[in-house]
């Protein structure tokens, strides 16, 4: 039986990055420091002592990078804006030079026929706001709306697709509960408050957009489907908790105006009674939702795991990426169909999907062969197509990532790029996956046919 993987005619193909991971020059042209600038310069926090000081030097090489996008035939580019470039103190004074960088980037993209898709917050909170309590301060919703308003006014004429936040779960789980990401806190009491304020901020940003913007705005969640390790009741309950904690904690207040009851069970006395009125703010109409998908988790009850009492189980005979994630493409189909069932027929984008695998050093003018990454992409695109066939309103896909970049506290060693980056010389080299993705785009998926 042959199967056609041609995608809908208006399907949108793109690639994604984020500011701190690629830009470099984090303090240039009057920018204020972000919490990632601080975290990366705190001894012991980053693998290999890596920082975003230079990263892919995209702040200075963005024109060349837009050419790389053009060579792939990208229709869209998803990037994030560094809040502290635009408002060095987080609120108040606008730094025009910082805003100008994004303005130039957007112009360059449009000149090359690539649609800009801007995320307002991809984890790099201005350090000055962290000094005022960061996401633990309820005023953060107002700070965010103020910043969003400045950016909308400057760019909405040219940027037609916006997201408020990228993956708030990672911000709170990594940054406030386990301390492995900025700002490096470890508190069961703080994590729910930061989570709630992030979603209040997202709501306030969407409200600001309705007053100032003319196009589309949404929010981006990471979704990792959870499957029980056995049919034992305790594993099923642990799976339910893991599912609520990671996949519903943020989408529920945004789209349903409530929290799943499991969160109170997980956090116990640390789960606050949030004012009912807050959900009017968190639940704002969105034009789309972006979903980031990398892997799944098979879950087992584990009383030693704080605070979830659930832990992932490694699967035998499966391929794992360099970040330790099982390659499980069916999870992408399952996640997209689950999302539609729970939250309704909202237009969806896969705003990130990709894999870190070891890449050998590259020789001059060579295309780097990366069969594991190409296989990952191929499988996930097919899985995405199956979701569309099942009726999911999926509008587009952004590969993570355009370039090898700073994988946060894991440093530069984890390479997710379509283009290989030699961080000593800044030379970009296309990987075979980039060539393959260009064919996918050129044939609107038909190259996947079997």
79 binds ligand BGC (CB under 6 A): no
Task: State the nearest-atom distance from the C-beta of 119 to ligand BGC, in Å.
Answer: 9
167 binds ligand BGC (CB under 6 A): yes
Q: Which is nearer to ligand BGC, 88 or 290 (CB)?
A: 290
222 binds ligand BGC (CB under 6 A): yes
Q: Candidates 49-57, 135-143, 164-172, 370-378 — which segment interacts with ligand BGC by CB under 6 A?
A: 164-172
- Give the one residue of 59, 279, 400, 437 binding ligand BGC; rule: CB under 6 A: 400
- Give the one residue of 7, 14, 15, 18 binding ligand BGC; rule: CB under 6 A: 18
Count of residues for the chain?
450
Task: State the nearest-atom distance from the C-beta of 360 to ligand BGC, in Å.
Answer: 21
Q: Cα torsion for 330, 332, 337, 338, to the nearest 10°?
A: 100
224 binds ligand BGC (CB under 6 A): no
Q: How many CA atoms lie within 13 A of 78 on its CB side?
A: 32
Please answer whether residues 28 and 59 qualify as being in contact, where contact means their C-beta atoms are separated by less than 8 angstroms. yes
166 binds ligand BGC (CB under 6 A): yes
C-alpha span between 75 and 113 (Å, rounded): 7
34 binds ligand BGC (CB under 6 A): no
Dihedral over Cα of 386, 387, 393, 399: its sign = negative
Using CB under 6 A, which residues numbered 290 to 349 contact ligand BGC?
A: 292
Give the residue from 151, 75, 153, 70 showing the smallest Cα distance to 118.
151
Q: Candidates 166-174, 191-199, 365-373, 421-429 — which segment interacts with ligand BGC by CB under 6 A?
A: 166-174
Task: State the nearest-atom distance from the C-beta of 406 to ligand BGC, in Å.
Answer: 8
Q: Which is nearer to ligand BGC, 65 or 167 (CB)?
A: 167
Active-site residue, from 108, 167, 224, 407 = 167
Task: State the nearest-atom distance from the C-beta of 18 to ligand BGC, in Å.
Answer: 5
C-alpha span between 9 and 353 (Å, rounded): 21
407 binds ligand BGC (CB under 6 A): yes
Using CB under 6 A, which residues numbered 242 to 301 contact ligand BGC?
A: 292
Active-site residue flag, 167:
yes
164 binds ligand BGC (CB under 6 A): no
Q: Which is nearer to ligand BGC, 18 or 243 (CB)?
A: 18
- Give the one residue of 105, 106, 170, 335 binding ligand BGC; rule: CB under 6 A: 170
C-alpha span between 36 and 206 (Å, rounded): 25
Task: State the nearest-atom distance from the C-beta of 93 to ligand BGC, in Å.
Answer: 28
Q: Which is nearer to ligand BGC, 18 or 95 (CB)?
A: 18
Q: Which is nearer to ligand BGC, 36 or 271 (CB)?
A: 36
Q: Which is nearer to ligand BGC, 132 or 178 (CB)?
A: 178
- What distances in angstroms separate CA 97 from CA 79, 85, 114, one per listed residue? 18, 8, 23
Q: Candidates 130-138, 165-173, 276-284, 389-397 — which segment interacts with ligand BGC by CB under 6 A?
A: 165-173
* Contacts with 107 (C-beta within 8 Å, 6 or more apart), sequence order: 158
Active site residue ranges: 167, 352
Residue ranges binding ligand BGC (CB under 6 A): 18, 21, 166-167, 170, 222, 292, 352, 400, 407, 416
């Amino acid at each position: 039986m042959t199967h056609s993987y041609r995608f809908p005619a208006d399907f949108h193909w793109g690639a994604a990055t984020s500011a701190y991971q690629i830009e470099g020059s984090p303090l240039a042209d009057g920018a204020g420091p972000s919490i990632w600038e601080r975290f990366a310069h705190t001894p012991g926090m980053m693998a290999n002592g890596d920082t975003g000081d230079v990263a892919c030097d995209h702040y200075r090489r963005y024109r060349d990078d837009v050419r790389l996008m053009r060579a792939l035939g990208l229709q869209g580019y998803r990037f994030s804006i560094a809040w502290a470039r635009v408002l060095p103190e987080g609120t108040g004074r606008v730094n025009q030079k910082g805003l100008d960088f994004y303005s130039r980037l957007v112009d360059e993209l449009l000149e090359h026929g690539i649609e800009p898709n801007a995320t307002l917050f991809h984890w790099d909170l201005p350090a000055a706001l962290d000094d005022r309590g960061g996401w633990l301060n309820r005023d953060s919703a107002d700070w965010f709306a103020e910043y969003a308003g400045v950016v909308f006014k400057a760019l909405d004429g040219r940027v037609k697709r916006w997201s408020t936040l990228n993956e708030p779960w990672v911000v709170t789980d990594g940054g406030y509960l386990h301390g492995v990401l900025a700002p490096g806190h470890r508190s069961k009491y703080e994590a729910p408050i930061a989570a709630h304020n992030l979603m209040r901020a997202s709501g306030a940003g969407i409200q600001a957009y309705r007053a100032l913007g003319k196009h589309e705005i949404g929010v981006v969640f990471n979704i990792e489907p959870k499957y029980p390790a056995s049919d034992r009741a305790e594993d099923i309950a642990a799976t339910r908790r893991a599912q609520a904690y990671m996949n519903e904690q943020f989408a529920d207040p945004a789209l349903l105006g409530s929290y799943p009851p499991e969160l109170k069970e997980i956090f116990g006395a640390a789960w606050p009674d949030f004012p009912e009125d807050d959900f009017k703010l968190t639940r704002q109409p969105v034009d789309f939702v972006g979903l980031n998908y990398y892997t799944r988790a098979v879950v087992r009850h584990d009383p030693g795991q704080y605070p979830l009492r659930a832990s992932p189980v490694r699967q035998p005979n499966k391929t794992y990426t360099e970040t330790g994630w099982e390659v499980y493409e069916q999870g992408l189909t399952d996640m997209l169909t689950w999302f539609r069932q729970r939250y309704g027929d909202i237009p969806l984008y896969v705003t990130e999907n990709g894999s870190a695998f070891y890449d050998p050093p590259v020789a001059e003018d060579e295309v780097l062969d990366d069969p594991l990454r190409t296989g990952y992409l191929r499988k996930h695109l097919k899985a995405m197509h199956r979701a569309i066939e099942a009726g999911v309103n999926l509008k587009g896909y952004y590969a993570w990532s355009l370039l090898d970049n700073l994988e946060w506290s894991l440093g530069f060693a984890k390479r997710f790029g379509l283009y290989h980056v030699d961080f000593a010389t800044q030379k970009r080299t296309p990987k075979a996956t980039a060539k393959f993705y260009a064919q996918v785009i050129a044939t609107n998926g038909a190259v996947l046919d079997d």
